[in-house]
Amino acid sequence: MQNLGVRSAVVAALLLLSAVAFCTDKTVLINGRVAPRVPGLSIRAELVYDNDDRGNATDIEVTGSTFRVRMEYRDFGRSDCEVLIHPFTGGCERKLKQVIVRLMDGNREVDRTTLNVPKDFRSGDRTELIVRSEVVLSWSEASPPK
């Protein structure tokens, strides 16, 4: 009976480790610039997953004319708890599809671009996506709200 308890503990530990190994934290890096340079603008970057599920978003102030956005994410399609309990039943099924990058003037969207994964990115390593080319967003007073 004691061996059964030890085996169960070993199996549970292996399942936990496999869930952690398959579902790692990942990072998206986006470098860009705003033309022309205008004070008070911000960048909002938002993650979109393959089922059009919106992920986390981040806002940064544009200082100067360039910006750099670093966003961390996980491919978890379920809660972390479910992934740990059921690591082989699709816990990491949610895949990043796009990153929407918006130029904001206050609450008004002035310009946007949509970056497609993996086409618009290169891999720095297994956990890092880096935009292939600089993102350029444009501002003008005549820009209609998007």
If we measure between CA atoms, which residue out of 67, 79, 121, 125 comes closest to residue 98? Answer: 121
| Residue 125: predicted pLDDT | 85
pLDDT (average), residues 127-143: 88
User: Which residue ranges form the domains of the chain, and what is each CATH number?
Assistant: 2-138 (2.60.40)
| Residue 25: predicted pLDDT | 84
Residue 62 has pLDDT above 50, yes or no: yes
| Residue 88: predicted pLDDT | 53
> In Å, how far are 61, 126, 136 from 67, measured between CA atoms?
8, 24, 10
Vertex 146: Cα angle to 73 and 50 (nearest 5): 30
| Residue 54: predicted pLDDT | 87
| Residue 37: predicted pLDDT | 87
Residue 101 has pLDDT above 80, yes or no: yes
